[in-house]
Amino acid sequence: MSDKENTNYLRISQAIDYIQLHFKDQPSLDELSAAIGMSPFHFQRLFTEWAGVSPKKFMQYLSISYAKQLLKNEHSTLLGTAYKTGLSGTSRLHDLFINIEGMTPGEFKNGGEALAINYCFADSPFGKIMVASTEKGVCKLFFEADENQALSHLMQCFPNAQYRQMVDKFQQDALFIFQNDWKQLDQIKLHLKGTEFQLKVWEALLTIPMGQLTTYGSVAQHIDKPKASRAVGTAIGSNPVAFLIPCHRVIQTSGKLGGYMWGTTRKSAIIGWEASRPGIQ
């Protein structure tokens, strides 16, 4: 890292620390840039290059994370949560949740109460999996040998949803991917929620051909955020649907596998399995 890059990194680290300490005050761009000793224009550009998101968006992520913690308390109110997060009222809290979570704060608070989720268990070449779906598409797919633990994990994601153990068309289409090239299965429907940045990263992963690998840095380049490799890694690690969004195809620049939510041994096995199936590409 050059002296200039090191200086910029230290500035952004300082900015992130400042935002984490003061996000409840909802500081403006001018206030943030002044705290770092930069002009608003250069601070905005540098922060976005290194963090992968704008200072405002980063502060929104911290705000909504804090608001979600408050809303998990059954005695919390939307107005009280808005004020404690530094927002002027419930309308701003509503806009924050809609823009980032794709749901209202009330919908988050009730934990998906109106959501009906079907789920089933199946065997894959890499171990037992659970796949779950709503009326819109697959919302969760992950590796878990213990069915009770798998169901517990699913319920933690959607604590107040209505559950039914059954196989539906969305799940069948998703499970078919272990026998066919994922690019030929455009009938697979997903029902995912994520930040704008996460969705961009997940979309980029879908462009990686089966049997091929890329790096975190390359994904960052693909979404026009070349300095955001760490943020890309975090977004990849939050992928809610194993294999369907092929986060296993991303490795470190050094050639090391890097992390994998469901274990590096499984990641290695998946990569090898895909590489041995040239007829599918």
Residues serving a catalytic function are 247
Q: Are 197 and 237 in contact (CB under 8 A)?
A: no
Strand partners, 116: 162
What is the helix (H) or strand (E) element at residue 48, kind and residue range?
Answer: helix 40-51
User: Taking the mean position of all CA atoms in its chain, how far away is CA 72?
Assistant: 20
Please measure the distance between the N-terminal and C-terminal CA atoms of the chain and give it in whole angstroms.
38
* HEC-encoded secondary structure of 125-168: CCEEEEEEECCCCEEEEEECCCHHHHHHHHHHHCCCCEEEECCC
Reported as half-sphere exposure (CB side, CA atoms, 13 A), residue 77 has a value of 5
118 CB-contact burial (10 Å; exposed 0-12 / middle 13-18 / buried 19+):
buried
d(CA 170, CA 25): 44
Using only the alpha carbons of the chain, give its radius of gyration: 21
